Amino acid sequence: MTHLQDAQERLDKALTRLETAATSPRGEGDVDALKTELATARAHSDALEGRTKEVSGRLDSAIGRIKSLLED
């Protein structure tokens, strides 16, 4: 889970930078850069969400198997 936590922290920092940048005066070139960074952050967030669901499913499955072993 360390990789997921690290990735989540990086994503949070990127989103904070985007929010800060969005509230400061910008030129047109900076807006394009922000749009690109935001698209990248969103794609990264979507990927993390998918991995989180996958890990959660695996953990649920493992817990189910352990419970069935303990019941026998």
In a domain, 55, yes or no: yes
Q: How far out from the chain centre does Cα 71 lie?
A: 36
Number of H helices, E strands in the chain: 2, 0
Number of domain units in the chain: 1
Q: Which residue has the tokens 């030129």?
A: 27
**What residues in the chain have per-residue pLDDT under 50?**
none
Q: What is the mean pLDDT of the chain?
A: 82
The boundaries of the domain holding residue 63 are 44-72
pLDDT given for residue 12 in this prediction? 79
Decide if 34 contacts 18 (C-beta within 8 A): yes
pTM of the model: 0.52
Percent of the chain with pLDDT over 90: 15
Q: Is residue 14 part of a domain?
A: no
